[in-house]
């Protein structure tokens, strides 16, 4: 099996796909171009969130990072639900509803973030016990991230193995 490098993909894109996009591209190429734009935007969003979290870790050690996480969690849930709704509307050809979905997502996320931030500033005594969340994160890292990294380095690794690993703890709870 030949592995393709990122450099090879970029060179192929410039040589073969870019000329197709100049005039009226085929639907599959246009769809792939839009999808890759969305994937790049998603990767950018994740990297920005990661670096914000990294820099905040220096300023907010211990409890502070858990408080920040509890504030960001509802807004992130809204932000991650929006693509599914927008995708269904896009598939139905309702482009105005796609725009409306993202407008509503931005508005609701902003309201949630502002209200939770104000709540934390007005009533800082409402801080919750962060030990359960800390133990949960440590358990998740120990039971999933470590084995997933180990699995990915095995010679016959398939992505399905990571999925099976992620499902194993929930199956164990039901038994």
Report the greatest alpha carbon distance in the chain.
61
In this prediction, residue 121 has a pLDDT band, given cuts at 50, 70 and 90, of: confident
Q: Where does residue 9 rank: exposed (0-12), middle (13-18), buried (19+ CB within 10 A)?
A: exposed
Q: Which residue has the higher pLDDT, 97 or 129?
A: 97
Average pLDDT, the chain: 76
**Cβ contacts of residue 17 below 8 Å, gap of 6+?**
29, 32, 33
Mean pLDDT of 36-60: 73
Chain Cα centroid distance, residue 126:
28
Q: What percent of the chain has pLDDT over 90?
A: 0
Q: What is the pLDDT at residue 172?
A: 57
Q: What is the pTM of this model?
A: 0.39
Output DSSP code: residue 5.
Answer: P
Name the residue with tokens 């409890």. 63
Q: What are phi and psi of 88, to 5 degrees?
A: -65, -40
Angle at 24 between CA 23 and CA 30, to 5 degrees: 115
Per-domain boundaries in the chain: 1-59, 60-128, 129-175
């Amino acid at each position: 099996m030949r592995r393709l490098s990122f450099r090879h993909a970029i060179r192929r894109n410039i040589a073969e796909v870019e000329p197709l996009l100049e005039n009226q591209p085929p639907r599959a190429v246009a769809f792939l171009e839009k999808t890759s734009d969305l994937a790049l935007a998603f990767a950018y969003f994740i990297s920005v969130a990661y670096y914000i979290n990294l820099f905040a870790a220096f300023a907010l050690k211990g409890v502070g990072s858990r408080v920040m996480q509890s504030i960001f969690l509802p807004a992130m849930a809204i932000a991650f639900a929006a693509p599914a709704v927008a995708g269904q509307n896009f598939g139905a050809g309702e482009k105005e509803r796609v725009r409306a979905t993202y407008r509503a997502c931005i508005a609701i996320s902003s309201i949630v973030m502002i209200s939770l931030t104000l709540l934390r500033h007005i009533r800082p005594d409402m801080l919750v016990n962060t030990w359960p969340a800390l133990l949960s994160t440590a358990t998740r890292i120990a039971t999933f991230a470590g084995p997933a990294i180990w699995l990915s380095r095995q010679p016959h690794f398939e992505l399905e193995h990571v999925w099976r690993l992620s499902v194993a703890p929930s199956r164990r709870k039901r038994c």
